[in-house]
Every structure is written in C-alpha cells, then in structure tokens.
Amino acid sequence: MNIGIPKLVIYDNQISYEVDITCAQGNRTLWYSLDKSFADLLCDNADAALLGMLVPAMLAGENIHIQGALSEQLFYNLSGPLQKAVQLIIPSLKRINVTADNICFDQPERAKGVITGFSAGIDSYCVMADHYFSKVSNGFKVSHLIFNNVGSHGVGGESLFRERAERLAPHAKALGLPFLMVNSNLGDFYCPEIGFQKTHTLRNTSVALLLQQGIGRYLYASSFSYVDTTIGTSYDISFSDPILIPMLSTEMLDAVPTGGQYSRVEKTLRVAGVPDSYAALDVCIAPESASNYANCGKCLKCLRTLNTLEIAGYLDRYESVFNMKNYKRYRSKGFMKILITKKPLSAEVRAYAKEKNFSFPLISHLVALVMRNQK
C-alpha cells in the first residue's frame, strides 16, 4: 500500500484533507472534511492517513510506504509496538512493514488547543465534568469539541451523522465551545469483519491527528475502568484504551485516555452533577423509538443508565430527555439484565445497588432466577 502526499482542498464552505491510496484493490482517495472556518487547525502531514489505514493494510497483509511528512514518534509506534497490540485484539491481522520518505525529526511545539469527542453520552459528559466544568489547568481544559463520521453511524451513514451533529450543535454552542463536525470516507476502507467497536480508538484518533496545527492535546473518553483494562481478543477495543492511546501520540499531539479512573456507575453519578446534561444527555441506541425525546427509555443503554439513575435517586433530573413512559414499562427488564449479565458494566450496577440497599423489582429477580436455571 502506498500513501501519497496529502493535500488540503477547499470546496465551497468545506476544507478537505485528501490523500491518494494505492493498494492491491486499486487506487482510491482517502478524505476528511470539515467547515473551512477551522482551516487554521489543519496540518497536511501523513500522520492521520497512516493511522487510519494501518488496520486495513494489516488485514490485507500489505506493507505501507508513506510519501508525505510523518511524525517520528508515530512512525516508531505504528511500525511495531502498536501492531503487536492490535494483533492481540484482532488476531486475523498480519504484521507489516512501514517505510517513509520524510520522517520529521524536528517538530514545532505543541499547540495550546485541547479537544475531546462530544456525543453527549455518559463518557463524553464525564470528560466535560472533569476537564471543563471543574477547575483544571489550562493545558487540560477542553477548548474544542469534535464529532466524527468514521464508521460509527451504521446503516444511516452520512445522513445519520449530519442529523446527530445538528442535534448536538446547539448544546455545544450553549457550552461556548467550537464544535467540529468531521466527515470522512475512512469507514469505506474497513470491511465488516473489522467492525467499528474493534477499531474506533484508531479511527477517531486519526481525525485528531489532522488538527495538530491548532490542537496539542486530545482527550479520549475511555468506556471502561482501569480494573477492566486488558489487551486481548475482545468485542470492543475500549478495554485496551489506557495501553493503546498513548502510542498514538506525536511530538505535536498528546493523546490522553481519560475516564478510566471511574466505574460506569461513578461516571453516571458524576454526569448527574452537571446541570447542562439534564437537557442534552444522549445515550440511546434506538432513537427511532424515542417519540419526541432524545432517548427511547427502553434500549439496552437507556435502561442501564436509567436503572443507575433510579438507584441514585436522580431520575427526575432527566425527565425531559428520556421517554419515561417507556422506562416505566421496561424498567424491570433492565434490572433483570443487570442481575444476570456477567459483563463489567452490569456488575458495577449490581454492586452499587447493594451499596445503596436498593431493592430490585420482584419480577426481575424471578425472571433472572428462571433464566439462570435454564442455562
């Protein structure tokens, strides 16, 4: 695989980072685009392209050669250490060689901008609780928010990305922070065998690497706590974030995993202390069932969040964004899943309920008992 020299091109109100990719499957162009008002943040080196294309190249077993300028630090990590780590998560990947024409040994100082992804979910609001609403040194205080289309929007694709971005934009504006909506065709280079959950850390960080001219620190919201950190075959790369993310840094961009110091329950309680989240929290994976609310109140993530908030006594804070009629109907189902599921996030809620002397609904206990006996 050959990664050409990136170029920045302006189309109407958008600025696009484009780089030609030559591989066994033919010649294609990888692109990322965002509003041209953020042009001063973009750099035209090949860091983003290399990170974005690493997994597709490893899956195909193709060596990579980069023509554009490349960070020495990123080159070192992606040539060996990161590949080994990603192979442990996705065993079908093959070790490849990475070569470059222009490795940059002298880099400018890091810019002062601090960016984090903003989806209005528990993870992203927890980052805001720690790095915006709390007192924190300027080098770690969020100055920009970002929302990406690199494969997370499923069947809806670009239209769903734009719909979600438009819904988030007013909340970002209310926070008084610049909101970058970055569209890309990066997801087209990934096959279904390598799904988004197994690669999102690399895909999203490739976007941050575009912005090194104005952004010097990238805060990546980790989904799991340190106690659950592992590196091995998994359905979600997030389990490895504290190990992987520092390897994605460059001389100009410090990639920082954040949130791993909390359990999901602790994050939810932290977010419940942020009044801005009461009208903006969005955790739903089935918005088509939400009926004039941001959250449906009955999908897996809605139920887990609302069950936690109920145990804590904070349900009333989120009545405007959750369909509470749905929740009242399905809450017992949510508690039942918490009782029988062995995954870490459910175990955390069970432990919290015990700590609070919370009584699960009797029907949840009975159904859980029947299901355990059937196994």
- Note the pLDDT of residue 156: 55
Query: Minimal CA–CA distance to 227: which of 199, 197, 256, 262?
Result: 262
Q: Among the listed ranges 29-43, 140-154, 201-215, 278-292, which one has the minimum average pLDDT value?
A: 278-292
Average pLDDT over residues 281-286: 90
pLDDT level of residue 375 (50, 70, 90 thresholds):
low
- Give the 3-state secondary structure of residue 95: coil
- Note the pLDDT of residue 135: 93
- Note the pLDDT of residue 332: 94
- Note the pLDDT of residue 203: 96
- Note the pLDDT of residue 344: 85
Question: What is the per-residue pLDDT across 266-279, written as a single tens digit (0 to 9) for each?
Answer: 999 999 999 999 99
CATH 1.20.120 fits 113-258, yes or no: no
On average, the pLDDT of the chain sits at: 93
CB contact at 8 A, 14 and 33: yes
Average pLDDT over residues 104-128: 93
Q: What is the 3-state secondary structure (H, E, C) of 112-170?
A: CEEEEECCCCHHHHHHHHHHCCCCCCHHHCCCEEEEEECCCCHHHHHHHHHHHHHHHHH
Distance between CA atoms of 339 and 334, rounded to whole angstroms? 9
pLDDT level of residue 193 (50, 70, 90 thresholds):
confident
Dig out the tokens for 298 from the structure.
Answer: 């009955």
Average pLDDT over residues 101-114: 92
Give percent above pLDDT 90 in the chain.
79
| pTM beyond 0.85 | yes
Give percent above pLDDT 70 in the chain.
98
Average pLDDT over residues 110-115: 96
Residue spans of the domains in the chain: they are 2-104, 113-258, 283-374
Question: What is the per-residue pLDDT across 129-158, written as a single tens digit (0 to 9) for each?
Answer: 999 999 999 999 999 999 999 987 765 578
- Note the pLDDT of residue 161: 86
Q: Does residue 308 carry a pLDDT above 80?
A: yes
Distance between CA atoms of 300 and 286, rounded to whole angstroms? 9
Q: Does residue 192 carry a pLDDT above 60?
A: yes
Q: Does residue 287 carry a pLDDT above 80?
A: no
The continuous run of DSSP H or E covering 310 comes out as: helix 300-312
- Note the pLDDT of residue 154: 66
Distance between CA atoms of 7 and 16, rounded to whole angstroms? 8
Dig out the tokens for 290 from the structure.
Answer: 């939400």
- Note the pLDDT of residue 155: 55
Dig out the tokens for 77 from the structure.
Answer: 């990590």
Average pLDDT over residues 69-89: 96
For 33, other C-beta atoms within 10 Å of its C-beta total: 19
Distance between CA atoms of 43 and 209, rounded to whole angstroms? 8
Average pLDDT over residues 170-199: 91
For 374, other C-beta atoms within 10 Å of its C-beta total: 6
Pairing outcome for strands 26-35 and 144-149: unpaired
Q: Among the listed ranges 150-159, 163-172, 247-256, 328-337, which one has the minimum average pLDDT value?
A: 150-159
- Note the pLDDT of residue 149: 92
C-alpha separations of 115 from 132, 143, 241 in Å: 11, 6, 17
Average pLDDT over residues 236-260: 96
Cα dihedral 183, 181, 202, 126, rounded to 10, equals -150
